Amino acid sequence: MNGIDILVSEVGPRDGLQSISQIMPTAAKCEWISLLAAAGVREIEVGSFVPPSVLPQMADTAELVVHARTIPGLEVAVLVPNLRGAENALAAGAHKISIPLSVSETHSLKNVRRTHEQMLDEIRAIAGRVSALPEAQRPHFEVGLSTAFGCTLEGPVSEDLVVRLAAAAIEAGAAEVGLSDTTGYANPAQVRRLVKKVWDAVGREKLNGVHLHNTRGQGLANALAAMDIGITTVDASMGGVGGCPFAPGASGNIVTEDLVFLVEAMGLRTGIDFDGLLRAREYLCAALPDVEIYGFTPEAGLPRGFGEQ
């Protein structure tokens, strides 16, 4: 992957900022995104194309895509809830479009107000729009299987249903699926088991990434389990900001700074520079003074001699 072993995909500008009441100014978001990219972050989910009446924090996503596209080498990702959102993402020029397909239908109705079948219809429609574009202009289209490990609204989620929906999403035209622990229910054994089941159903090349939350302190353990069996993309949010506003208690994204330390400490490459990452964190803390920012590594500092061996 262009000189790296693990792609740390930064989702703070979307999953982080959508979950707090404070609205970060567009100029501040642009500067934060620029600092993240300068630190070596290769992929950033800059926002979500949802109606401003639903999430006013995401009202400037099109402007953020335009800004982020000016940064060389940065993969610009966005979340969309439906075809209309995808059309806005296409117009803005996003490199990657993700749509959530909640395995918990209760969560799907709460989150995007659609059943599984309605969401599969949206996926087919988006895939049709993407495939109609010239090949060089097509964004990568991913379906994120939300609440794949459990749901605060329904409780346990059937792994067989996760597998069936993964296969249905690929059949509907998605290039890839991802597994999302929206509510922080997952454990390492479950992560290994479910990734393998989905691989068996759709192929290894159709599942490369996971989106994990640290709600119950299992985020890094789950990330390590995923990487150990071959997952190569892990989502994280700077300072651990964010969660899901439509899943009660679903706080706590993995802290980007701690994930980067974990990966680099194991001798794997993220391509991310710690000094640059801490500059981006300092900027975020100044921009969101009333928001709690997490992270063990920034508090403790890097071990003496780290990175010199």
Compute the CA torsion angle 105, 106, 112, 114 (nearest 10 deg). Answer: 50
Does some domain include residue 70? yes
Does some domain include residue 309? no
Does some domain include residue 306? no
pLDDT at 19: 85
pLDDT in tens, 271-287: 999 999 999 999 999 99
**Domain count of the fold of the chain:** 1
Q: Which tokens belong to 103? A: 């395995």
Does some domain include residue 49? yes
Range name among 176-180, 227-231, 237-241, 270-274 with the lowest pLDDT average: 237-241
Under DSSP, the state recorded for 289 is T
Does some domain include residue 308? no
- Considering the chain, what is the average pLDDT of its residues? 93
- What kind and span of H or E run contains 281? helix 274-287
How many helices (H) and strands (E) the chain has is answered by 11, 8
**Residue with token string 């900027």:** 283
Residue 204 has pLDDT above 70, yes or no: yes
Domain CATH number, residue 281:
3.20.20.70
Does some domain include residue 305? no
Name the residue range of residue 59's domain. 7-300
Angle subtended by helix axes 159-171 and 188-202, to nearest 10? 40
**In terms of Cα–Cα distance, which of 304, 187, 169, 294 is closest to 241?**
294
Q: Which tokens belong to 289? A: 């003074």
pLDDT at 292: 86
Q: Which residues contact 57 (CB under 8 A, 6 or more apart)?
A: 17, 18, 20, 23, 24
Higher per-residue confidence, 308 vs 16: 16
Amino acid at 306: F
Give the DSSP letter string of 205-247: GGEEEEE-B-TTS-HHHHHHHHHHTT--EEEEBGGG--B-TTS
Please tell me the pTM assigned to this model.
0.95
Give the DSSP letter string of 122-159: HHHHHHHHHHHS-GGGPPEEEEEETTTT-BTTTBS--H
Average pLDDT score over residue span 262-276 = 97
Residue 141, φ and ψ in degrees, nearest 5: -110, 115
Average pLDDT score over residue span 231-252 = 76
Confidence band for 309, pLDDT divided at 50, 70 and 90: low
pLDDT in tens, 130-182: 999 999 999 999 999 999 999 988 899 999 999 999 999 999 999 999 999 98
Rg value, the chain, Cα: 18
Amino acid at 47: G
pLDDT in tens, 179-198: 999 889 999 999 999 999 99
285 annotated active-site: no
Residue 247 has pLDDT above 70, yes or no: no
**In terms of Cα–Cα distance, which of 153, 155, 154, 180 is closest to 165?**
180
Catalytic residue among 30, 151, 244, 285: 244
Query: Strand, coil or helix: what is 255?
Result: strand
Helical residues (DSSP H) of 60-187, grouped into ranges:
61-68, 83-92, 105-111, 116-132, 159-171
Q: What is the longest distance spanned by two Cα atoms in the chain?
A: 54
Average pLDDT score over residue span 37-62 = 96
